[in-house]
Structure formats: C-alpha cells, structure tokens
Amino acid sequence: MEKEFGEAMRSAVLVRQGFLDLRDNFRRIVDPPSWPSDKAPKLRKQVVLDGPVSCGKSIALAMLVHWARDEGWLVFYVPKGREWTHGGFYYKNPQTGLWDTPVQAEKILKDFRMWNEGHLMKLPCQVYDPIPLGEGAGVGWMKDVDSMTMPEGSTLDDLVKTGIDHTHAAVGVVVRLRKELSLVKEIPVLFAIDQYNSWFTFSEYEVPVTLHSCRPLHAREVATVNAFRSMMHDNMMVGAFSHSTAVGKLRKDLPDVPADARVNFPRYSLDEAATVCHYYLRQRLVRREAFSEENWKKVYYLSNGNGSEMRWLIPLMR
C-alpha cells in the first residue's frame, strides 16, 4: 500500500466488490439482519483469503481492519505474520515444550496496545491462572521464579503492559492474551493475520540434532504462532496468504483451518481496471495524449489484471 501511495502520489485505494463482500460477511455476523433471506450468502466466522500474486488480498485485509476499528471493534491485526518466525532470539521453554521469541512478543504487545489502548483499559481480565515465565531477550532466566499472576481487578491493558515491561513474561502474556480475547463479549473482536501462510511452513530458526546437523523449527513450534494459528474456534478471524513471501505451495486442506474457510480473491475485472487506469491518468502517471481505451486495455490484458504490473506498465504507454 505504501508503494502504491508513493507512486500514485495520493493515499487512496479502490473499494472493490471482494472487500465489500468480506466486510458484509463480518458485519452480518455481528449485526444479523432482522429478516433473514434465503438468497443471502453463507456467513463465515473464519476466512482465508487466497488468490494470485498481487490480486489485492493484503489491501483488502488492511481495509477490513480500518473499517472494523472505525466501527469500534477490538482488532488484533498482524500485518506481517512472517516476522513472528524470523529474527530475534529464540529459546525453548521447558514448561510448555514450545519455543519462545521474546523480542517479537514485545513488539506484538506494543503494536496491539497502540491501536486498542482505549478498549483494553475498559476490559477486565477473566483468567487468573499463573503465567509461565521464559528466558528473557538476552538476559537469561529469572532466579527461583517460573511464573507470575495478575492481581485481582486487572484490566487487559494491565496484562499487556506487564508483557511489555517484563521480557521474561512477554511470550506468556501474548499466549494469555489470545485466551482473554476469546472471552471478550462486550465488543466484537476480530483477528486479522496477513502472510498467514507463513505459519504453516518452517521458520528460520534451527535446533541442533547432532554435532554436524540441525533441523529447522516449524512455525507451529513457536509459542506465539501456536497460540494464534488455529481457526477451529468460534471467534471471527481472517487470514490472508502472501505469495510474495511464500516458500512453497501449501496443500488445500490446512491443519486447524475449516475446510470451507478458503476464499479466492480475484484480480482486477475489466471495469475495475478501467477505474484504476483513469485514476492513474488523473494522477498524471501517464501522458494524456498517449492514453486511450485501446492502450489501457492492452495494459490490462498484458498484466492479466495484476495490480502491481498495471501500475508499472501504465507510464510506458506510447
């Protein structure tokens, strides 16, 4: 989106039918129509956006997040799911058997609090079980302490701040936050994960097997991913595949994902391409004397409706 805004010299996006269908799906879940219609499409609480490269999945997801926040929803948005399994420190937590990534966990909590602090301060904690502590980012283990509990009367904002302020608790708080958000009934909660397919492949982390070999850790072995990856629940959740960061083709039936969750997001239709091309003309990405219906249709068919390629080809009109 930032690249699009920079090249077009304006922060604007095309409202496509695919986004409207996605928005209406979740709006009807939260606010069902008074008179149900037999012709209404099936509602899905869990959606996986799939489709060709550069067809607009990530932009549609970002637009859905923006809309949901404007509606007053509590949104857990992960714009770069791949970052959960790449970079930083990683340690195995003997209490959980999973791998902790405290650097990423702290960033997850900071980002979530930045956009939802007002809601979090009003929502009470509902789970008071001990939170397991792990190894801190570059500081080792705490002595003689392996868990912590939140005081009675704590809010979700207190919980998130605890994870930010204490590196040993960061991962445990992220995992606990997933459980707490599933219990929120006061306002709608939406989980939105971009690059969702990266949670079904291997991370960049490795663990020694012998003196001369290592095995890669699968994303499901990372504690934060393990807590948020599953769609086998009753919460609203949408994940978008990113083929630009993919390392291979995933099978159609993914573990922990409902069989009917996958929705194919199309590339531009001819009408959408016409709208986009005339928008680029107004933004002066192409010379007016070179612009014609024949030329913009050539761009559309050459790119097969790929938005990124159309943006690159439009200035080459002659």
Q: Are 309 and 303 in contact (CB under 8 A)?
A: yes
Q: Where are the beta strands (DSSP E) in the chain?
A: 46-50, 74-78, 91-92, 99-100, 131-132, 147-148, 189-194, 202-210, 213-218, 236-240, 262-264
The residue-averaged pLDDT of 173-186 equals 97
Euclidean distance between CA atoms 100 and 135, whole angstroms: 8
Same domain, yes or no: 208 and 299: no
The residue-averaged pLDDT of 102-123 equals 96
Choose among 65, 61, 64, 66: nearest CA to 50.
Answer: 61
Cα angle: 260, vertex 196, 230; to 5 degrees: 60
Query: Whole domain around residue 305: which residue ranges?
Result: 270-316
User: What are the pLDDT digits (tens) for 58-100?
Assistant: 999 999 999 999 999 999 999 999 999 999 899 999 999 999 9
Same domain, yes or no: 68 and 130: yes
Instruction: Please count the residues of the chain.
Output: 318
pLDDT score at 246: 60
pLDDT score at 99: 96
Same domain, yes or no: 72 and 193: yes
pLDDT score at 38: 66
Same domain, yes or no: 274 and 260: no
Same domain, yes or no: 101 and 27: yes
pLDDT score at 173: 97
State how many domains the chain has. Answer: 2
Same domain, yes or no: 31 and 121: yes
What is the pTM assigned to this prediction? Answer: 0.91
Same domain, yes or no: 175 and 295: no
pLDDT class for 247, splitting at 50, 70, 90?
Answer: low
User: What are the pLDDT digits (tens) for 13-50?
Assistant: 899 999 999 999 999 999 988 776 667 778 999 999 99
